[in-house]
Structure 1
Amino acid sequence: MKKYIIYIAILVGGLLLGYVFFGTSNEGNSSTVEISESTESQMWTCSMHPQIMQPEPADCPICGMDLIPAESGAEGLAANEIKMTENAMALANIQTTIVGNTSDSEENSLLLSGKIMPNEEGNAVQASYFEGRIEKLNINFTGEEVRKGQLLATIYAPALVAAQQELLTAASMKESQPALYKAVRNKLKLWKLSESQIDKIEASGKVQENFPIYATVSGTVSEKMAEEGDYVKQGQPIVKVSNLSTVWAMFDAYENQISQLKEGQKITVITNAYPSKEFEATISFIDPSLNTQSRTVSVRAILNNKEGLFKPGMFVTSKVQMSRSNEKQSNISIPASAVLWTGKRSLVYVKTNPSEPIFEMREVGLGAKQGDMYIILDGLKNGEEVVTNGTFTVDAAAQLQGKKSMMNSSGQEKIDPKNHLAEIERQEVPLKFQNQLKMVFDNYMVIEKALVNDNSETPKTAANELLKSIKNVDMTLVNDEPGHSHWMLLEKELRRSASAISKTSDIKEQRDHFSSLSAHLINAIKTFGINKKVYVDYCPMVNEDSGAFWLSTEKEILNPYYGASMLRCGEISDEIE
């Protein structure tokens, strides 16, 4: 009987186990499928090295830390679209503009900058025609008006004293030796003595010691080249006289503007001295040689200046009406501040959703620059909305989200800090410009070291010094037009970030703006250089794991975004020679 009870118990137990394993199999399979699908879509990354992306949990191959689940992509965004937060938009003061066709009036003109110069065709140098000492100089100052025939100076000339004695001797023998007499008179004429002066000497029978020099042209004294009491040689200049009844307006035109200019073309000239007046001029000369340093061509126009309104050295701008091609086409123009330039590509950021801060990078073809506007040959459509302020900040967000950007032409799942500057091409600029930019860098390093030491007071004063250094950078030293516009855009962003740092003692706000300051200065130094080797450091944990860069002169990592709390967090991502 006991044996049967054991058999029954085994049977019941078997039925219960069968129910547990097989009765719930459908539910188990469903759960397994869900977990499997979830696992297949989940990617894993490293909090310290976000470029690492793996389909399953493991250790980071760089630092050995455990990988963490990566954030899933934003819903509804295209492959190269990015979405920014409202806070980031406000912090960077990001502004957009709807682009449109160029008009037939204002925007269909080319603006050139230049300055007024004396008309060299009206310049004259008054020289001494004989050797001697200036006894009296009747020109008192530069800018003095002189008239033709006016006495300029009186000179004691020993050679003329001897020549006069020869004249008096020859005059007593002119009947017997007329050829000698004539030769002596001609000799005096070569020293610019007039017939009446020679006759006066001959009639008086006395030698004259001091001789006058008269102005041969009317005009304005532009330079005194000798002083009273000086001993001058024959042919040595005494004063330079400029006739300012007409003046030259000299402009610099970039290579991509030359095709719009030709000799005989009418232009309108505007000056700050008379902002409400427009003056008509004609292009009289276009330099056949290109200045290889500035990559510009000199363009000259003649201005009527009988009223004396134009002063040499005065800055002027010219408006040149551009010719349209015979093809019926309407070009799109955008503000120069919207364009990012890498040396290889010209880029803009388009707002793809009018109601949300969603942007996409677009490569564009640049045409001629008209004032503060660029003609867009391709890449944009009429009515599209582009970022015109805070463009670098939008690009930085695209970089960190692994989308197409200024530094990354193809796009990848996460930014690779080792290659984030690969797309920027070095532009050749004078050493003087690099030294000026280095002064900006030196002030930047003062801010950085203060933040490393958790000091919030020093950055305020250092930021003000940095603003002064930016002001001292001579942008005219930048060689060509895209580089010139690129620096102007960088300068604007550098000023904005530095100004924000100078106005707050909140170290968190200072570090937020320091991130933007660093991004723009890295771009500037990569583009133009500072004649010094620097390191670009990167920390992936800044800005809620979005990451941020900074510049350093040392290989040792000293993190300005965390200070003492995480001083060694980060890595060297690039070296700029």
Structure 2
Amino acid sequence: MNKNILYIAVAVIVGLFAGWLIFGNSEIDVDASKDSSNMSDSHNHSSDTANQMWTCSMHPQIMQPEAGDCPICGMDLIPAESGAEGLALNEIKMTDNAMALANIQTTVVGSGAPSDEDGMISLSGKIATNEENNAVQASYFDGRLEKLNVSYEGQKVNRGQLLATIYAPNLVAAQQELLTTTALKESQPALYKAVRNKLKLWKLSESQINAIETSGKVRDNFPIYATVSGTVSEVAAREGDYVKQGQPILKVSNLNSVWAEFDAYESQISNLKVGQKMMIVTNAYANKEFDATISFIDPMLNNATRTVTVRATLKNIDALFKPGMFVTGKLKGESKMNDDLITVPASAVMWTGERSLVYIKTNPNEPIFEMREIVIANRNGENFRVKEGLENGDEIVTNGTFSVDAAAQLQGKKSMMNKSKKETSDMSLSQMIIDLPSSFQKDFEKVLTSYLQMKDAFVSNDANQVAAFAKETSKALKSIDISGLGKMEQAHLNKTIKMFDAIVENDNLENQRDHFVILNENLVPIAMNIENVDPILYLQKCPMANKNKGAFWLSKDKDIRNPYYGDEMLTCGSIINITK
């Protein structure tokens, strides 16, 4: 019995020891694992929080270190994607899956172009009516259109064709006057001749006048005949309409000759001259080429597209060319460009009107890209020749360029829509610390009073009032003693005075607003350092002004009243800061 008890006790002790060995170490390991996991989670979380940037889904150029509202549209900011380590400031990295989905392809570029297009310049354009051959068929007397024989656009008319029948009270009276003076033409030839000339001025022909004399009857409804031949481009009146003397009835275009109008890039202008021969092709007649000569080069550059209009006159007797038809013009350029310039596919270039952009693959072994601005020389068919920005051997995106640009925008990197990731701080102007003498501050408050009146005139789109208040403000500013200010402060004020004077001398509202942008950049840092301003001033900003660069202004009202757009976008903007 004692032995059995001893055996049981030993077994229990051994079992407990074995259980401790198995489960006790496991619990320690689990606890250690939990502690390690908690430490890791805590570390990663704090690291992510420290590096997390916030952006706007509608305006990806906005990047802020904290959550909040978008300063442009007011939407809630969302977490931005964390940047990949080892990337330069404006580089982006795409996954292999994203590359495949967007069908992104790259090409190594270099000099050279196909020999059959050596030195050729290609221009895109369309056919337009020759305005020199346009004419207006007008009514030469007041009356009511009883019948209109030509009533739709595209209808052809010939000189002498009956266009309409009109009832004209003045013409009825003139016919009666003619019949009366016909009996007196022997005794009063001058009176008779004067009456006939009056009818001729109303575009009545000799045969019509003679027919009235011969018949001896007055016609109530008088025919109107076409004075030109061509195609009707616009019907300006309808049957039953009352028309005034000189009012258009029809507009007629003679399409025997047409214009081919092309858009030429700024960099192509040096290769174009009036009288230069060019070849024109169109998809409508794929196997035909038409010879033409440049007849006009617009002396004004289109600021929006950075192009000039180049025009060639084409004979169109067979009516092959229709206004609105797309055409391509090709002409000989400088052949030496083929050796000096790099040729890239047109699909690789994104053109904003001001900038030409491509995406460079910066790492040959990984899908890492960076946007680069280039300068284009000219276009040859489906290729561009590049003057600056690329070197032989550069690998660029030639398909899916806009997909890469979209990825750059979402990551807040330099892209087509935002020139730089670096954002100008909205607070920079108001946070400049400037020590201003109390006497200067007192005098400067008078300047602010007239400045605010000028701002309100901008809101009302009143250029004359803007100039008047700018003159008053400039005068007040010039009367202030600035000798006690530092060089920086004096420079700001001198520039402000120049902008006020420029506004005074200019009566164009848009030009005045351009000067107002620069004026505020110099005046705001001074105004924001004036103490105890009464009333309190609000520093406000419109992100769309100044060509989407943003522009500031001061206001005594909390409500936004945009001086850069007036009624067009009266409430566009936000409050950035307030005076001390």
Provide TM-score, normalisation by structure 1. 0.52
For residue 97 of structure 1, what is the amino acid of its counterpart? T
For residue 343 of structure 2, what is the amino acid of its counterpart? S
- Which residue pairs with 1:198 in the alignment? 209
Correspondence 1:264 to 2:275:
yes
Query: What do the CA deviations read for 1:25-62 (whole angstroms, capped 9, x no partner)?
Result: xxxxxxxxxxxxxxxxxxx997516869xxxxxxxxx9
| Counterparts of 1:84 and 1:256, CA distance in 2 | 34
Of 160, 168, 171, 1:157 maps to: 168
Q: How does 1:218-297 map to 2 (within 5 A)?
A: 218-297=229-308
Contact 1:263 1:286 in 2 (8 A): yes
Contact 2:112 2:339 in 1 (8 A): no
- Which residue pairs with 2:383 in the alignment? 373
For residue 206 of structure 1, what is the amino acid of its counterpart? K
> CA offset at residue 365 of structure 1?
4.2
Contact 2:90 2:414 in 1 (8 A): no
- Which residue pairs with 1:101 in the alignment? 111
- Which residue pairs with 2:421 in the alignment? 421
SS in 2 for 1:186: helix
Contact 1:341 1:347 in 2 (8 A): no
Contact 2:377 2:387 in 1 (8 A): no
| Counterparts of 1:113 and 1:337, CA distance in 2 | 16
| Counterparts of 2:108 and 2:368, CA distance in 1 | 14
Structure 1 unmatched ranges of 5 or more: 1-43, 53-61, 64-71, 408-418, 425-524, 532-574
Contact 2:145 2:239 in 1 (8 A): yes
Provide TM-score, normalisation by structure 2. 0.52
CA RMSD across the alignment: 4.5
Correspondence 1:111 to 2:133:
no
SS in 2 for 1:278: strand
> CA offset at residue 296 of structure 1?
2.8
SS in 2 for 1:48: helix
- Which residue pairs with 1:302 in the alignment? 313
Contact 1:406 1:423 in 2 (8 A): no
SS in 2 for 1:121: helix
> CA offset at residue 374 of structure 1?
3.2
- Which residue pairs with 2:48 in the alignment? 48
Decide whether aligned partners of structure 1 residues 375 and 165 sit closer, same or farther in structure 2, where only a CA change above 3 A counts. Answer: same
Query: What do the CA deviations read for 1:149-208 (whole angstroms, capped 9, x no partner)?
Result: 111112222212222222222222222222222222222222222222222222222222
| Counterparts of 1:193 and 1:279, CA distance in 2 | 42
Task: Number of aligned residue pairs: give it.
Answer: 356
| Counterparts of 2:421 and 2:242, CA distance in 1 | 64
| Counterparts of 1:154 and 1:421, CA distance in 2 | 69
Decide whether aligned partners of structure 1 residues 362 and 167 sit closer, same or farther in structure 2, where only a CA change above 3 A counts. Answer: closer
Decide whether aligned partners of structure 1 residues 82 and 198 sit closer, same or farther in structure 2, where only a CA change above 3 A counts. Answer: closer
Q: How does 1:441-480 map to 2 (within 5 A)?
A: none
For residue 111 of structure 2, what is the amino acid of its counterpart? N
> CA offset at residue 360 of structure 1?
7.3
Decide whether aligned partners of structure 1 residues 177 and 373 sit closer, same or farther in structure 2, where only a CA change above 3 A counts. Answer: same
| Counterparts of 1:186 and 1:340, CA distance in 2 | 65
For residue 48 of structure 2, what is the amino acid of its counterpart? M
Query: What do the CA deviations read for 1:256-303 (whole angstroms, capped 9, x no partner)?
Result: 332232222222323332333332222211111223333332222212
User: Does 313-322 or 205-214 show the bigger shift?
Assistant: 313-322
For residue 333 of structure 1, what is the amino acid of its counterpart? T
User: Does 238-247 or 169-178 show the bigger shift?
Assistant: 169-178
For residue 341 of structure 2, what is the amino acid of its counterpart? N
Q: How does 1:287-436 map to 2 (within 5 A)?
A: 287-325=298-336, 329-338=339-348, 348-350=359-361, 353=364, 356-357=365-366, 365-370=374-379, 372-378=382-388, 380-389=390-399, 406=414, 421-422=421-422
For residue 245 of structure 1, what is the amino acid of its counterpart? N
| Counterparts of 1:246 and 1:312, CA distance in 2 | 11
Query: What do the CA deviations read for 1:51-108 (whole angstroms, capped 9, x no partner)?
Result: 69xxxxxxxxx99xxxxxxxx999xx99999998755654554422132323243374
Decide whether aligned partners of structure 1 residues 49 and 224 sit closer, same or farther in structure 2, where only a CA change above 3 A counts. Answer: same
Q: Percent same amino acid at aligned positions? A: 59
> CA offset at residue 420 of structure 1?
8.0
For residue 334 of structure 1, what is the amino acid of its counterpart? V
| Counterparts of 1:140 and 1:368, CA distance in 2 | 49
